[in-house]
Structure 1
Amino acid sequence: MTNTPTTKQLNMLPSGHVGMISLIITEVFFFASLIVVYLAYIGKSISGPLPEEVLGLGLVGVNTVALLLSSATVVVALRALRKNKQTQFLTWLLITVLLGTWFLVG
């Protein structure tokens, strides 16, 4: 007798993939709901500040740059770690943490 996997075993996704797919789907719904609520309430306030007064494009632009750069630096840090370059890894990881802090405090 051969030991072949059943059809059910072949169609199963690894639990890590299911978890990541679930995370991405929930994040999409979360941010989509925030955008819908923002669009529903924009301009409805008579006395409140305008969106331009609360979030200027300068602050948004700086935070976006910090977030994108931190994504790039973590990739560079992981590549250095895979090559066993500990000093480079720690340097890029520190830069990533600083950019992430800049984004959060910004």
Structure 2
Amino acid sequence: DGVSARATAASGLDDVLTHLPEGLASQVGEQGRLLSGGQRQRLLLARALHQPQPVLVLHEPTTSVDSVTEDRIARALRASGRTIVLITTGPTLLSACHRV
């Protein structure tokens, strides 16, 4: 049940993993309590992107990340080739959408 390198890169989780002592195998506490809100959000997004489902529904997936990470995630979502139903008010994510 690991998370692919592609999913960790697309979600920005790869940056977080470099600071964890055991990388992806690190213990993060119950419900990710040892992670910041943005780190938890990236972890959950990576897990969602790793799943082979044809449609992905995301609700404000970048509310707790910085603008550089949000832009990176937006570009990765657009390039993913998947159908993504995105619920957001953020202009960065909206700019990644094919249809609004």
- What is the TM-score when the length of structure 2 is the normalising length? 0.24
More helix by share: 1
Query: Which one has the largest radius of gyration?
Result: 1
**Structure number with higher relative contact order (C-alpha < 8 Å, ≥ 6 residues apart):** 2
